[in-house]
Amino acid sequence: MGGKTVGIQFTDQSVRCAVLANKGSIHALQTIPIPEGMIVDGRIQHGEEVLRTLEPFLGSLGRISAIASMPNSRMYTMGIWCKSGLSEVQFQADLLQAVARRSPIETADAVISIEESARVNDYLLLDVYMAEREDTGHIQSALHVPKVDLTVIEMQALSNYRAILHFGSEIVALKDNELAVLLELDSDWPTISLFDYFGGLFFSRSIPLGAIRSANNAVKHDNRVDTVEMQLIESSIQRVVTHFRSLGYEIPRLYLAGDAGVIGPDQLSTLTSLSLNVFPVVERLSIPFVEQNEVLLYLTAIGAALRSRLTEKQSRRHNLLHPF
């Protein structure tokens, strides 16, 4: 993609934008407050109202490409094995049937992105990303601004990991049998993701802390994770890491990202029992021309915008604007 690009992250309180200049340098960062109730749990409720809020800033950018990052909690991912060598019609029918058996939403109501991950004998392993069609439609409505060309809707974990790799000068490349953990500590939907040495998303699972808090009638006065919640997060990481290590993968490190203050330094020590090298993004990631206290604030938006620096083939992967 040529020209300027704006990466966009939707949160319940605001929309965060990162504008990259033609050569990839950061041109501008902007947080736009959103009226209460317009976005709930990362889902846009009223696309046209959000559009009116965003239009003054986005309209001031002139002709620009936009890449939107969708919250992990609004996405569904799975791996599906399919037999190769089938006709296109039979392949699509078998694939949709397999997805329908495991999907929490009707395939007719979903946008589905599919990429080949591996080939073993006569079978293909396919990475499947899904989102509700209504959710992607609301994002398109919210960004329907003249001269703003929405080119990609992608998963938030992809945006964050891309930014971490791009700016993490001290990060050592993974080997072909290694996976890295990304723990995103959103206040209500922490997400555990695994990435392979190509930078591809290997596995992802969100932990519904918000639902647990609601069921327990818990009132949170800040975003910090309490002891019980931390135990749930740690046990979830333990199960994921143990499972994939049992399959022969090495998992040497964990990148810790999320809103500052969600997890305290005293709680970080509990993760060391997993024999993981913990990389706290807020402390160790440096982005040129970005204040350290704003790194986590704009990490997702910057990572989304960086997708514009990928090759044309890479930029087509897992784009919910061009589904299966």
Do 68 and 80 lie in one domain? The reply is no
> Is the overall model pTM greater than 0.85, yes or no?
yes
Do 221 and 270 lie in one domain? The reply is yes
Question: What is the DSSP annotation of 108-126?
Answer: GGEEEEEEEEEEETTEEEE
What is the C-alpha to C-alpha distance for residues 215 and 156, in angstroms, rounded to an integer? 26
Q: What residue numbers bound the domain in which 307 lies?
A: 1-74+130-168+285-324
In 10 A of CB 43, how many CB atoms? 17
pLDDT, average across residues 63-89: 91
Give the pLDDT of residue 277: 87
Give the pLDDT of residue 262: 64
Give the pLDDT of residue 215: 61
Do 235 and 107 lie in one domain? The reply is no
CA angle centred on 317, ends 113 and 72, rounded to 5°: 60
Do 212 and 305 lie in one domain? The reply is no
Do 178 and 203 lie in one domain? The reply is yes
Do 212 and 124 lie in one domain? The reply is no
What is the C-alpha to C-alpha distance for residues 157 and 205, in angstroms, rounded to an integer? 11
Do 291 and 255 lie in one domain? The reply is no
For 80, residues 6+ apart whose C-beta sits below 8 A from its C-beta are 95, 98, 99, 102, 125, 126, 128
Do 45 and 79 lie in one domain? The reply is no
Give the pLDDT of residue 1: 47
Mean pLDDT computed over every residue of the chain: 86
On the question of pLDDT at 95 being above 60, the answer is yes
- Tokens found for residue 321: 């604007």
Do 150 and 230 lie in one domain? The reply is no
Do 245 and 323 lie in one domain? The reply is no
Q: Is the dihedral of CA 129, 131, 133, 137 positive or negative?
A: negative
Query: Nearest CA to 187 among 279, 271, 259?
Result: 259
Looking at the 3D structure of the chain, how many domains does it have? Answer: 3
pLDDT tens digits, one per residue of 189-207:
889 999 988 888 888 988 8
What is the C-alpha to C-alpha distance for residues 323 and 222, in angstroms, rounded to an integer? 38
Q: Tokens 């960062």 belong to which residue?
A: 29
pLDDT, average across residues 294-322: 85
In 10 A of CB 91, how many CB atoms? 15
pLDDT, average across residues 28-55: 92
Please tell me which residue, 272 or 250, carries the higher pLDDT value: 250
Domain of 294: which CATH number? 3.30.420.40
Do 145 and 5 lie in one domain? The reply is yes
On the question of pLDDT at 28 being above 90, the answer is yes
pLDDT tens digits, one per residue of 15-24:
999 999 877 7
Give the pLDDT of residue 156: 94
Do 3 and 66 lie in one domain? The reply is yes
Domain of 96: which CATH number? 3.30.1490
pLDDT tens digits, one per residue of 216-261:
655 555 556 777 788 888 889 999 999 999 999 999 999 988 655 5
